[in-house]
């Protein structure tokens, strides 16, 4: 059972404006006894931005929404030495059909009526589990320590990056991405320093951008249904091996110069099995496409 901490949870309920907007503020204060921070976000809709900043507050959340349509639930507790916190943005199901359609097809548009800023610090290591239904999200993981991160996009546009070009403070164990109908872009993924990158793409699209030469090896496992996976590589040649599962209807495109060393296995010109920064792609492709560019 979770023990509720004597942490500071500030809920600032600003006066309602004519549109029924409610402003809220949640914080989780420092706890010297906790080893890591586990944060769970489940946003059915809206715009969510995650950023990093220095300070002793591990999680600081500020947002606004219309309570007639969206209910916000925040909680926190401590279990097995970890500090847990969660934010649920639940759809009350009162919006009209046309409004729901506009959110689905306008997922790259900022939703000012349901907008949230979430700030992390360089306080302690994080495990992040972020789920987005529809809407828009931006996640900047610069300069903090992330052990594991999980991104789920139902029909949302999600962009993950390292805006200040400062890499993960620790070696990440697993970076997991699940895309259903939405689209996810991950910029400078080499800065995550992830041992494993796991990706599943249904009907949507996923872009993995390697802007610079990674400093450590990564195993990338991807399963692509009817959607698209794009691996954006730097101009400098990387040591890469691509293993494809032998499936029908597949569409694979690798850069010029890659060598097919055996059936469904390709390597880059810089490939070496002993390379310290070897990228190993294991891809199960169905009716969609996988493009290395």
pLDDT tens-digit map of 191-202: 999 999 999 999
Q: pTM of the entire structure?
A: 0.87
CA distance 36 to 80: 10
Q: What is the pLDDT of residue 2?
A: 40
Q: What is the pLDDT of residue 22?
A: 87
Domain contains 190:
no
Domain span including residue 167: 1-171
Domain contains 259:
no
Domain contains 115:
yes
CA distance 209 to 186: 6
Measuring CA to CA, which residue among 232, 255, 254 is closest to residue 244? 254
Burial (Cβ within 10 Å: 0-12, 13-18, ≥19) of residue 231? buried
Q: What is the pLDDT of residue 15?
A: 38
Sorted by sequence, the CB contacts under 8 Å of residue 133 that are 6+ apart come out as 43, 44, 45, 91, 154, 155, 156
The structure tokens listed for 165 are 């070009």
Domain contains 263:
no
pLDDT tens-digit map of 125-182: 999 999 999 999 999 999 999 999 999 999 999 999 998 889 999 999 999 999 999 9
Measuring CA to CA, which residue among 120, 131, 236 is closest to residue 177? 131
Domain contains 61:
yes
pLDDT tens-digit map of 236-274: 899 999 999 976 667 899 999 999 999 999 999 999 999
Domain contains 135:
yes
Q: What is the chain's Cα-based Rg?
A: 20
- CB-CB contact of 117 with 63 (8 Å): yes
Domain contains 241:
no
In which band, very low, low, confident or very high, does the pLDDT at 34 lie, cut at 50, 70 and 90?
confident
Report the number of distinct structural domains present in the chain.
1
pLDDT tens-digit map of 85-94: 999 999 886 5
In which band, very low, low, confident or very high, does the pLDDT at 55 lie, cut at 50, 70 and 90?
confident
CA 123, 125, 127: angle at the middle one, nearest 5?
125
CA distance 126 to 120: 9
Q: What is the pLDDT of residue 164?
A: 82
* Cβ neighbours, 10 Å, residue 78: 17
Domain contains 71:
yes
Secondary structure class of 105 (helix, strand, coil): helix
Measuring CA to CA, which residue among 6, 60, 1 is closest to residue 33? 6
% the chain with pLDDT above 90:
69
Measuring CA to CA, which residue among 161, 140, 141, 120 is closest to residue 37? 120
Secondary structure class of 268 (helix, strand, coil): coil
């Amino acid at each position: 059972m979770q023990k509720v901490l004597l942490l500071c949870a500030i809920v600032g309920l600003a006066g309602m404006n004519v549109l029924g907007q409610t402003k809220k503020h949640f914080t989780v204060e420092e706890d010297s006894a906790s080893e890591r921070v586990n944060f769970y976000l489940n946003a059915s809709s809206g715009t969510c931005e995650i950023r990093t900043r220095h300070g002793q507050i591990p999680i600081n959340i500020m947002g606004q929404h219309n309570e007639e349509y969206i209910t916000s639930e925040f909680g926190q507790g401590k279990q097995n030495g970890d500090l847990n916190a969660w934010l649920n943005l639940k759809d009350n199901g009162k919006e009209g059909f046309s409004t729901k359609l506009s959110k689905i097809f306008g997922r790259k548009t900022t939703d000012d009526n349901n907008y949230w800023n979430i700030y992390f610090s360089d306080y302690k290591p994080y495990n992040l589990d972020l789920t987005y239904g529809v809407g828009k999200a931006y996640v900047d993981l610069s300069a903090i320590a992330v052990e594991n991160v999980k991104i789920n996009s139902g029909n949302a546009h999600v962009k993950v990056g390292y805006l200040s070009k400062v890499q993960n403070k620790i070696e990440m164990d697993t970076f997991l991405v699940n895309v259903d109908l939405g689209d996810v872009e991950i910029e400078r993924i080499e800065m995550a320093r992830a041992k494993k990158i796991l990706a599943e793409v249904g009907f949507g699209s996923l872009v993995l951008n390697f802007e610079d030469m990674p400093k450590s090896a990564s195993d990338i496992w991807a399963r692509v249904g009817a959607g698209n996976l794009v691996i954006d590589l730097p101009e400098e040649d990387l040591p890469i091996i691509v293993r494809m599962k032998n499936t029908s209807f597949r569409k694979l495109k690798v850069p010029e110069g890659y060598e097919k060393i055996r059936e469904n296995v390709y390597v880059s010109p810089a490939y070496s099995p002993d390379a310290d920064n070897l990228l190993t792609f294991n891809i199960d492709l169905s009716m969609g496409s996988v493009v290395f560019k």
